[in-house]
Amino acid sequence: MITLKSKRELVAMEKSGAIIAGMHQGMKKLIKPGLSTWEIEEFGRQYIESHGGRAAQIGFEGFKYATTVSVNDEVAHAFPRKGLILKDGDLVKVDTVVELDGAYSDSAWSYAVGNVSPEVQKLMDVTLEALYIGIDQAQVGNRLGDIGAAINHFVEDEHGYGNVRDYIGHGIGPTMHEEPAVPHYGVAGRGLRLKPGMTITIEPMVNMGGFEVETSKEDGWTVRTIDGSWSAQYEHVVAITEDGPKILTSQDPIFDAKYLLK
């Protein structure tokens, strides 16, 4: 089911999104060589709860943690681990979902650990730009295929990276996952037409190598690239409005000025 949100509901989701944004801003200062991924989990959960939110991933389909912390060739959904210590040059992705007074938000971000290689920095830059290319297509009257086609053309045709197909964006709020499914690939002009009040996640996962991924048979959650190439991800919650796409999880109001609710 697709729910169309009122302005009041969008404001509530933006308040939830502000908690995630603050958490990610804190991560930028926290993440460094020598840190365990469990310390990232502890920081994330404490930040969410101390700001009145609920870490909504806990208990979702049996998941036990407030965050997923995926490193290097881990694409998504990896558990935070006490024994996994970040090294200089690593690439870590942190994802979480926050519920605040019934309003949900969802955001993932990629972080360079210390000094990363030029190749890793380019992967991060391209993935972040792909996110905003997708957001720019989230216009009233456009179709879901316009978002996916724009992202896929930029990632694969222009840069030769692998654009993950197996995991995609989704509708969000009043539940964590709802319709519509939001692929990061597709055909322009095809798919569901976007309407005011829709709220969706756009969250491209981009691999240095091929787009193929596999899920760990050991824990049933961790997603890795099949070819061992490294992966980056960025994610925002976006509201479809008559005034254009509005980011509800913005970390930078200056950079995102044209995408904020008025």
Residue 159 labelled as part of a binding site: no
> Which amino acid is present at 164?
V
Residue 14 labelled as part of a binding site: no
* H, E, C per residue of 21-35: HHHHHHHHHHCCCCC
The torsion of the CA quartet 111, 119, 257, 24, rounded to 10 degrees, works out to: 0
Q: How many CA atoms lie within 13 A of 121 on its CB side?
A: 6
Asked if residue 79 lies in contact with residue 58, where contact means CB atoms within 8 angstroms, the answer is no
Distance between CA atoms of 234 and 204, rounded to whole angstroms?
6
Residue 236 labelled as part of a binding site: no
Cis check: omega of the bond before 174, within 30 degrees of 0? yes
Residue 106 labelled as part of a binding site: yes
Phi (first) and psi of residue 234, to 5 degrees: -135, 145
Residue 153 labelled as part of a binding site: no
Separation of CA 136 from chain center = 16
Write out the H or E segment, with its range, that includes residue 111.
Answer: strand 103-112
Longest CA span, the chain: 49
Residue 218 labelled as part of a binding site: no
> Which amino acid is present at 169?
G
Residue 129 labelled as part of a binding site: no
Asked if residue 163 lies in contact with residue 206, where contact means CB atoms within 8 angstroms, the answer is yes
Residue list, annotated binding site for a divalent metal cation: 95, 106, 170, 203, 235
Residue list, annotated binding site for substrate: 77, 177
Residue list, annotated binding site: 77, 95, 106, 170, 177, 203, 235
